[in-house]
Amino acid sequence: MPSTVVRESSRTHRLRWWGLGVLTLGLFMASLDNTILNVALPTLARELRASTDQLQWTVDAYQVTYAGLLLVAGGLVDRWGRSRTFLVGTAVFGGFSLMAGLVGTTGLLIGARALMGVGAALLAPSTLSLVSLLFANAKERTMAFAVWSAANGAGGAVGPVLSGILLEHFGWGSIFLINVPVALCIVILGAVVLPRSRPHQIEGGIDYLGAILSTIALALICWSVISAPGLGAGNPLVLAAVLAGVGLLAAFIYWESRASAPLLKLSLFKIRTFTVAVSVAGLVTAAGAGALFVLTQYLQFVLDYTPMQTGVRVLPVAAAMLLGALAAPRFIAVLRLKRTVLIGLGCVGAGYALIATTSANSNFMHLLPGVLLFGLGAGLLVPAATQAVMDSLPPDATGAGSATNTALQQVGSALGVAVIGSLLAARYRGVLMADSLWPQLGDLQQTALESVAGAARAAEQLSAGLAAQLNALASQGFVAGMRVSMLICAVALLAALVAVAVLYPRDGRH
């Protein structure tokens, strides 16, 4: 037995960089699907006649199941084994990507996206845990974390570019079908190069009640936020959903504090470095997901770019994030974690503030400085926060800790799209309903309120003069909503910067 263990350890060490490649490709694919849909949103609005609420759910259905099941997946990492959980998650992700690419209605697409989130939830925490296992040397470990972070960030940034290329030549289903051969390759290669670690013998079962409570709570809160602009914040259904979601969230925390094998280890949050790091990462992820949801629509609906042109114009974000991620190890070594986090937060907040100055007459070059600052800051932040999270965890909690970190980022993504999308929708609707053109729309009012694409459909049934007025008004309303949402993002990042400056330990370092 000892000789077998030694041989396996030697094999793992020899193939560690190949293993890192397979893991980062899997994470890249899951991260890609956080954003690849964004460029296709206007296409879905036109071809499937999806409203803004439905567009938000095509994005958030993936985020909600991804976030809600990540903590369960963290427990499965330890019980099933890291490599097995990663490979099963990749297979599930690829299978339901095939379903998403072949469906023909918005409802079925939302369902397929939710099931893809299940696969992503299984594979994502396994990657970080396996990276920690593969790399014991301090320098190699820092570099591996940087590569992991770069893959995570680059996947999200490259998503719009790849989406634009695919939509230029194929139907919208291609943005999901491309995952199928990639997932197949990962499963085949992963079975060869990843370590064959045995599952841990852990007492107690999986906390399924906690998973149900947290997932339903998040879904209800997202639904209430997304539905509030259309139904009204005082609508009984919206209020009931908010109260139920908050109540279930409180019940989840209460249950976790008393469960024998809790889904969420609340004791981890007693570690200040861990708490600050995951909070900052979640907030930045929320702001980034919401901003991308808005900006990809702005480029197509307002600036009238094609999906391909839109994807190309989002490419600078990927380049800036990659540059920031590659520079992060040097920043951490020289400036330490706290200063690196503060610089990253300052860049991201300044980027949003610049984007918030956009007007109806602005062009892409006006957006570019803000977009670059955001990408650079996010690229610096994620590796620093990841390093702080993993270094603060005891060896037997890497699976649960990495799952908690990733789960809070996905919760941030879901809430970011819900909140920022709803702020946009509320302001957009307010601008339309306050204009003198509004009474003249008659039966077309509800169609125009759905989205800018809905306004374009309504305009097709109006005279040339009224159609031009409605399209111009819809663009004006969209820009007004974008400004409000980006300004709120900037304020939130400024608050986070102050909080880190005050709360983050002075001796926080690499």
CA angle, 330 as apex, 325 and 336 as ends, to 5°? 105
**CA 395 centroid distance within chain:** 27
Check the CA dihedral 402-408-414-416 and report its sign: negative
Q: How far is CA 386 from CA 69, 188, 275, in A?
A: 20, 28, 12
- Residue among 350, 376, 355 nearest 366 (CA): 355
338's tokens: 């706290």
Q: How confident is the model at residue 177 (pLDDT cuts 50, 70, 90)?
A: very high
Q: Report the pLDDT value the prediction gives residue 99, as an integer from 0 to 100.
A: 93
Write the pLDDT tens digit of every residue in 31-45.
788 778 878 888 888
Q: What is the mean pLDDT of the chain?
A: 81
Q: How confident is the model at residue 395 (pLDDT cuts 50, 70, 90)?
A: low
Residue 289 has pLDDT above 60, yes or no: yes
**Model's pTM, two decimal places?**
0.75
Neighbours of 465 (CB within 10 A): 8
In contact, 121 and 84? CB cutoff 8 Å = no
Q: Report the pLDDT value the prediction gives residue 509, as an integer from 0 to 100.
A: 43
DSSP letter at 197 equals P
Q: How confident is the model at residue 510 (pLDDT cuts 50, 70, 90)?
A: very low
Name the least confident of 26-30, 230-234, 449-453.
230-234
Residue 434 has pLDDT above 80, yes or no: yes
Q: Report the pLDDT value the prediction gives residue 163, as an integer from 0 to 100.
A: 85
Q: How confident is the model at residue 408 (pLDDT cuts 50, 70, 90)?
A: confident
Match 């020289």 to its residue by tokens: 334
In total, the chain counts a number of residues equal to: 510
DSSP letter at 198 equals P
Q: Report the pLDDT value the prediction gives residue 362, as an integer from 0 to 100.
A: 84
- Residue among 70, 72, 111, 115 nearest 91 (CA): 115
Q: How confident is the model at residue 200 (pLDDT cuts 50, 70, 90)?
A: low
Question: 2-206+263-435+474-503 sits in which CATH class?
Answer: mainly alpha
Q: How confident is the model at residue 226 (pLDDT cuts 50, 70, 90)?
A: confident
Q: How confident is the model at residue 198 (pLDDT cuts 50, 70, 90)?
A: low
